[in-house]
Amino acid sequence: MKKWKCSICGYIYDPEKESLPGETTGASKCDYVDDEGELVDSFKCKQCGAMKEAIKSIGE
């Protein structure tokens, strides 16, 4: 599963190692990732609140 990094604050979202509100830790599918493994448009950085456009994939 991909990891994501906020280009504003540097926060790294790794869905396999942490959970966001309403999500089970290590969940393979959640409300933040679509069927193609990309972040949904409504995703915001957990740390600074930056919009999805500021969040970049950093691989697996």
pLDDT tens for 14-35 read: 877 765 555 555 544 456 777 7
Percent of the chain with pLDDT over 90: 38
Q: Is beta strand 55-57 parallel, antiparallel or unpaired with respect to 12-13?
A: unpaired
C-alpha distances (whole Å) from 11 to each of 6, 35, 48 are 5, 23, 8
CB 37 within 8 A of CB 4: no
Which residue, chain included where needed, has tokens 């396999």? 16
Domain that holds residue 35: 1-60
Q: What is the CATH number of the domain that holds 12?
A: 2.20.28.10
Task: Count how many domains the chain has.
Answer: 1
Q: pTM of the prediction?
A: 0.72
Contacts 24+ apart (CB under 8 A), 31-40: 33/1, 37/1, 37/2, 39/4
Q: What is the pLDDT of residue 56?
A: 95
Predicted confidence (pLDDT) at residue 52 exceeds the cutoff of 60: yes
